[in-house]
Amino acid sequence: MKKYLALNEEVTRAIQANQPVVALESTIISHGMPFPQNMETALKVEEIVRKNGAVPATIAILDGKFKVGLSTDEIRHLGQKGQGVVKASRRDIPYLISQGIDGATTVASTMIAAKMAGIKVFATGGIGGVHRGAETSFDVSADLQELAKTNVAVVCAGIKAILDLGLTLEYLETHGVPVLGYKTKELPAFYTQKSGFEVDYQLNHPTEIADFLRAKWSMNLDGGVVIANPIPKEKELNYDYMMENIELAIQEANKLGIKGKESTPFLLSKVKALTEGKSLASNIELVYNNAQLAAEIAVALSKA
């Protein structure tokens, strides 16, 4: 594994000493927003993780390896290169590493690298899922398969609201992936606290979540856990307003024939334009909120 994995010194020391570490993805840097806002957001997320007692480990594929714990220069590189960096999911990893091509890690590939490094907790914005119309397109995110088999807890603001939330929940249930709600019984829908769907279990404290993770993995019940953390009330957007704009974005994507892994970046970008930037501002706030909770869970998990 060492041939394909490079941890920075701080992350290495923390893992060896059983100190709390939080994995962070890099697709949000390269594909989530323009430079320099993407770099500033990534560094702010790391700062929040530190302030809450954990070590941040932003992950990407660079120089033919998984880099776990990026430097500021490496984050700047991803931010400046933007969508010129390959969006890397599970299927892309062998090609990018063997060819020495840069890759920005998605939820799935970040989970893989985190598991290889020994990191148990990962903070992101929202997970991928079953796309609307998947009954004919079969467009299902690789994130869901990774959650079914990789022992990493994913703190998110729920499933990306551009997706089919009901079918995604059904898929996760079929594959035995628990969906926990942090202080909520309702599944948050990324930009809003409201979705109309319920989570499997509500837990109200990071220590309870840590106990849940410990019990699951101690019994060799392999697979990840979705920890749905609602966007703060004062930062959320109106549910009906967002659903209307998401529907318009989906219609545009269908008209242009945009499919596969290009659909999510397109839809998020289109929704941003339709909401005059409100969706991006909301996205940034929910990532900050998830980073804080992930750090608190990592701290609780490390104390056991």
Name the residues annotated as catalytic: 25, 160
Q: List, in sequence order, every residue forming a beta bridge with 5; answer none if it has no partner.
A: 66
Backbone angles phi, psi at 201, to 5 degrees: -145, 140
Cα-Cα-Cα-Cα dihedral sign, residues 187, 191, 192, 196:
negative
142-149 and 107-117 helices, crossing angle to 10°: 30
- DSSP character at residue 160: -
> What length does the chain have?
304
CA distance 159 to 179: 10
CA distance 11 to 302: 14
Nearest to 279 by CA among 157, 107, 143: 157
Helix, strand, coil: what percent of the chain each, to 5? Answer: 55, 15, 30
142-149 and 165-174 helices, crossing angle to 10°: 30
| Residue 17 CB coordination number (10 Å) | 8
Enclosing H/E stretch for 273 = helix 263-274
Nearest to 221 by CA among 143, 129, 150, 302: 150
* Residues contacting residue 142 through CB under 8 Å, at least 6 positions apart: 89, 90, 91, 106, 108, 128
Q: What does the buried/exposed string (b/e) look like for 189-201 if buried means 16 or more CB atoms within 10 Å of the residue's CB? A: bbbbbbbebebbe
